[in-house]
Every structure is written in C-alpha cells, then in structure tokens.
Amino acid sequence: MSLPELSYLAWALSRYGQIDFDLGQSGVFPMPVDVLGLPQESFAAATDPTVVRRLQSAIAARFQAPAEETVPVLGTTHGLWCVYAALLSPGDDVLVESPVYEPLLRIAEGLGARVIPFSRDPGINAADVHRLITKRTRLVVVTNLHNPTGAYLTDDAILELARAVSPVTLLVDEVYRDLVDTPGKTAFHLAPNVVVTSSLTKVYGLNWLRAGWVLAREPLASAVRTATRHSIGTVSWALASASLRAFEMLDELHARSRLLRAHDAAAAQKVAAWVAARTYLSFTPHPGSIFGFVVDERGRDTRPWIDRAIEEQRVIVAPGAFFNAPAGFRIRYGALDPQILDEGLVRLGRAIET
C-alpha cells in the first residue's frame, strides 16, 4: 500500500515564509535561535545519551503526567502518525472532525483505515458522534483549537465527547491550545480514553526545534514509543537538548508569545470588516486564535484565485480544499505586523475581485 500525498504540507512547505505578505501560516513566526540562549546553553546536552529521557521527564512534569505515559516526538504531525500507527490496522474506522487538518485524514488512509467525518461547526454534538461508533471504530480525532477555524473546545465539551465515544480512544491535538490557556493545561487528565499530542511549534514559534510529545496511558504509550522507533529511531540528542532548555524557560517563552499577540483582537476585527465588505463571504473570529476560516457562501472553490493572489499580488492564505472545505480559506491575522496585515488584505481584495 502506497502512502497518499500530504498535499497541504507539500504546498505549504514550498510557499510559507517565502511570500511577501504571508497570511497563510497558522503559528507564531519562527523565533530566533538565540531565544533559548547561546548555543553552548541550548546544546549543552547534545552528546548526552540520557537527554531524551530527561526531556521526557520535563514534559511529564509540566503536564503532571507519569513519565512512562509521556513520549517525545518530532512535532505534532509525527505524534499524530505515531498514535495512528499504534492503534490502526487496515479495515478500521476513524472518526475525524470536518473541516479538518489534512494529515488527520491521510495518515489514516495510508494505514488502510476508513475515515468517517463528523461536523465541527464550531462545536461538536457528542450524541451525533456517538451514533457513528461501530465495532470497527478505533479512534475519534479532534483539534483544539480547531484547525482551520480557531474555535476552542472547553474541557467540559471534551469530557462529554470522551464519555460519548468510550471505550474508543479520543485523540486531541492540542498544538494551538496555549494560545488560549497557560502552559500545562491539557485534556489528557479528563478521561482514561483521552490521548493528547502537541508541540512547541505553533504558539511558541519554535517550529525549527520540532519539540513534540504524546501523552497516552499504558499500554498505548508503549505502542506509541514503538512507533517512534520504527519512524525515527530516537529523537535527535541535539534537538532534545534544545527542547529541554525550552521547557526550562517555557513560562518566559509563553509571555513572549503573548506579547507578540497583544493586538490580535484588533487584527481579527480588521479581517471581519474586510469580509463584511464582501457580502458573499462570512467569517467568525474566535477569541485567542491567531487565525480563522473565511467561507465563500456562493460555494466556489477558492484555490484558483488564491493561486493568482500568490503569483500576482505576493499574498498567501491557505485554500480550504486542503481542509476538505474548498469554498473557503484559512487566514492568519494574529502575531503579525499590522502593516503586513493591512497591505495583505488590500492585495487579497484585488485578487478575489479580479
């Protein structure tokens, strides 16, 4: 069985950070390497064979989880793959929210599982999801904050969903959660069937670090750890050293991130005003998010004019087709220079109206 292309990642990796007016990325722009201190501080343990275990302990302590239920991985997408690989076999069913971050679909398909969507608009009806459960269902998957809309699921909502699908595993991708909550908040402790994956990429601007983790109860944690060995062997000692340094100063990094997002509410209103001036579009901003999803109510695929916007206007947003919702696009407005947003919206307007 061949692996399906991750079209969104292939598209994004060749464009994000390379277009003048980047409204496509969904995380804080990359922090400089020296945000973790001098290289000798960040990579002091790069030759220490115990550093991955020390990182595991630091992650566990931050989330008040047992170390044996904590698995370091290379970013959230790798964590997702490891959980899927640990749980799924050909013929299994996976229930996945829609609209959806594409890897949540494609990883399951690559492992021979069948994907069944359920609505995330913006909340989740736990009873509706329960009705989709069959004897073949192995996994239910949600993101928090939701990618691409930015909607937040409260712990009460996640607990209701976890109970509704139990004993099936509920996977919660929390990579954006710290946009709203303080470091250390997690859904992992809400119910025995909850598994969590996250990283320091989106909220902290440390995408170059690939510091990710999975929180899972035994025996699933051991199976996830086996999946990491199959895929990467072990986390790089150098990256683990710098990741350990990041966890030691996580509160400081979170404060820095919050400072970058001080004007996000005003930025969301700019996008809302831009949308309101175009009666065929709709947009709902969600508090705390730095991105949102704009819908073309006419039902038109947005990809053609977005490609034109990139080529002719040097502005980029993420086409909804990559989120199983082609009549829309994800736009990033937070943690962004206001001048970039202002000019980006002007250029986006020229492209959509051409």
**Along the 354 residues of the chain, how does pLDDT read in single tens digits?**
578 999 999 999 999 999 999 999 999 999 999 999 978 889 999 999 999 999 999 999 999 999 999 999 999 999 999 999 999 999 999 999 999 999 999 999 999 999 999 999 889 999 999 999 999 999 999 999 999 999 999 999 999 999 999 999 999 999 999 999 999 999 999 999 999 999 999 999 999 999 999 999 999 999 999 999 999 999 999 999 999 999 999 999 999 999 999 999 999 999 999 999 999 999 999 999 999 999 999 999 999 999 999 999 999 999 999 999 999 999 999 999 999 999 999 999 999 987
In CATH terms, the fold of domain 7-28+261-353 is Aspartate Aminotransferase, domain 1 (3.90.1150)
Phi, psi (rounded to 5 degrees) for 52: -65, -40
Our measurement of the distance from residue 92's CA atom to the centroid of its chain's CA atoms, rounded to an integer in Å, reads: 24
Q: Which among 260, 267, 303 is positioned nearest to 283, based on CA atoms?
A: 267
Extended beta strands in 63-165, E state: 70-74, 93-98, 114-119, 137-143
Q: How far is CA 6 from CA 55, 195, 323, in A?
A: 29, 23, 11
Radius of gyration of the chain (CA): 20
**Residue 122 to residue 186: CA distance in whole angstroms:** 20
Q: Where are the domains of the chain?
A: 7-28+261-353, 36-249
Query: How is residue 317 written in tokens?
Result: 């947003």
- CB contact set of 211 (below 8 Å; sequence gap of 6+): 55, 72, 75, 199, 200, 201, 239, 242, 243, 246, 247
Only one residue has tokens 């962004």, namely 336
Q: Could you give phi then psi for residue 197, rounded to 5 degrees?
A: -130, 145
pTM of the model: 0.96
Distances (CA, A) of 121 to 124, 152, 157, 178, 285: 7, 11, 13, 21, 13
Q: Which CATH architecture has domain 36-249?
A: 3-Layer(aba) Sandwich (3.40)
Question: Can you spell out the DSSP letters for 223-284?
Answer: HHHHHHHHHHSS--HHHHHHHHHHHHTHHHHHHHHHHHTTTHHHHHHHHHHHHHTSTTEEE-
